[in-house]
Amino acid sequence: KQEVTQIPAALSVPEGENLVLNCSFTDSAIYNLQWFRQDPGKGLTSLLLIQSSQREQTSGRLNASLDKSSGRSTLYIAASQPGDSATYLCAVPLVMDSSYKLIFGSGTRLLVRP
Amino acid sequence: DAGITQSPRHKVTETGTPVTLRCHQTENHRYMYWYRQDPGHGLRLIHYSYGVKDTDKGEVSDGYSVSRSKTEDFLLTLESATSSQTSVYFCAITRQGGSPLHFGNGTRLTVT
């Protein structure tokens, strides 16, 4: 059974710091891995999707890496800003026949202090 | 916003009452999902659909049913609401396996 874990559950950093969020999964035979951001009272926003054949994806100050063999992904945020404060979740899919459904980690709640 | 509308955005209902939540998409995506999000439990899949009239259960499907009679609409029904179904419900869509998942803004349901 695939399980997705995110540690730490919460993180507080001063503005400007570079930081890394972690995501681990138990079954390395994943199709892809997706990172999301969730602001309070809102739905999830897709940040980055890494296919299983890729090692990393970049979008602006965000860089996500994937190491399937170790069952880990990291989300690197450069030069953090107060506007980056949110909960970050990772998810991997379970794929079977026509079925495609995502299993989510419980998220890391990030606070960037001015 | 990936063209997903959830309605209603907020609802308060009494125990034992049937409730239907609607998810409407304008993207013509194949896959649609209903998740619930609760403190301490994260996001949990209730039901999903991989095409019109093609649906399947997720990990917390008891007490819920779904219907998808056309591509753009995915309905979630609580046949007889219970207090344990108080939650925030999210609809999500994706074009195909391997594409990004996009979420609606959620429906906050309170069962008194």
Q: How confident is the model over B17-57, as pLDDT tens digits?
A: 999 999 999 999 999 999 999 988 889 999 999 999 999 99
CB contact, 8 Å: B102 with chain A?
A: yes
B106/A42 Cβ within 8 A: yes
Give mean pLDDT, residues B53-80.
96
Tell me: pLDDT of B1 over 70. Answer: no
Average pLDDT in chain A: 94
Average pLDDT in chain B: 95
Helix (H, G, I), strand (E, B), or coil: what is residue A82?
helix
Of A43, A49, A98, the CB nearest to B90: A43
pLDDT of residue A29: 87
Bond prior to A40 in cis (omega within 30° of 0): no
Closest-CA distance, B78 to chain A, in angstroms, reads: 21
Please report, as a single letter, which amino acid is at residue B22.
R
Tell me: pLDDT of B97 over 90. Answer: no
Nearest residue of B to residue A52, measured between CA atoms:
B98
User: Closest Cα to residue B24, out of B74, B93, B65?
Assistant: B74
pLDDT of residue A34: 96
Give mean pLDDT, residues A5-34.
95
Closest-CA distance, A32 to chain B, in angstroms, reads: 7
Give residue-wise pLDDT tens across range A44-97: 999 999 999 999 999 999 999 999 999 999 999 999 999 999 999 999 998 887
A34/B101 Cβ within 8 A: yes
Q: Which residues are CB-contacts of A96 (< 8 A; sequence separation ≥ 6)?
A: none
Of B33, B102, B105, the CB nearest to A101: B33
